Every structure is written in structure tokens, then in C-alpha cells.
Amino acid sequence: MFGFGKKKIEFVAPFDGNVVPVSEVPDPMFAGKMLGDGYAVIPSDDAEKLTVVAPAEGTLVKVFKTGHAFSMKTTAGVEVLVHIGLETVELKGEGFTVLHESGSVTAGTPIVEVDLSVVRGAGLNPITIVVFTKKGQVAELAVNAGATGAQPAAIATIA
């Protein structure tokens, strides 16, 4: 009732850019929180490559063969999906290099490298979404919107 005993987890941005709440993602499935609440990061227009990192400490559950997404479970048990770009599965892995496929990771561990010229050249949006996929795990989410920096991209209070 008063938040006693609730744990807060800090999540980093998966790369440098502009952090926005998931409700601002230009895709109805993500913006409508159908896959869960979260945040997204928009890379700068002049970025040529992205090294997408784990947003928290935990274990990689799955890295998609195409490299466009990965899921993980934090050490606190929160299930997270990181989806790189919109409709990027259509690229069938072109422009994506998987750097880390399984096992334990810390916040900031490089997982996937992305060639943004391929993504943008295909007319796709490189916005990257971080969502908490298990309903009810995150009781409250505070997103630090704006340019990435020293502060966490988001702080989740888990139930």
C-alpha cells in the first residue's frame, strides 16, 4: 500500500540517443502497451552504427537469429524484451550482428551491433523499444525522457 518492501530496478538505455516513454513509439502495438510498459530510445540522425547493450543485469533468454530483438530476465526476475527498430524482422538479419547469444550479462554488455544505413536504407525506423513483458511484474515505471546521460533511462518498481 505504501510501497514498503517494493524493489526499484534501474534500467540503462541500450545505446546513446533520446529516451521516450513507450507510449510515444510510432507503432500501435508498442504504444498501446500490448507487449508491456516500457521505454524506447531514438538514435541520433547522424549515427551510423549502434551497439545495443543489455539494459540491466540478468540472463539472456533468447537472441533472435535475425538479431532484431532479444529477451532477458533480470536478476530480480523482471522479463524484458528489447526490440531494435520497427518492422526490422523483414531485414532477415541483414545489418545485424549478434555479439552475445546467451548467459549472464551486466547492464551495458554489448548484445547486437546494427548497421543503421541498412535499416534506414530499407525505409525502417531504428527506434529501439525496451518493454517489460510479464504483466503485473512492474508496479510503477518512471521514464527519464530526454537525452541519455548519467541517469538511468528508467526506474521500475517491481511488485
Q: Look up residue 34 and give its three cell numbers.
A: 500490448
Any residues with CB less than 8 A from the CB of 153 and at least 6 apart, and which? 11, 12, 13, 19, 39, 41, 55, 130, 143, 144
Number of residues assigned to the chain: 159
Catalytic residue among 43, 60, 78, 83: 83
Q: Is 83 a catalytic residue?
A: yes
Provide the edge-to-edge strand list for the sheet that holds 154-158: 7-11, 154-158, 138-143
CB of 142 within 8 A of CB of 154? yes
Q: Distance of CA 124 to CAs 4, 89, 133, 150, Å? A: 43, 10, 24, 29
- Catalytically annotated residues: 83
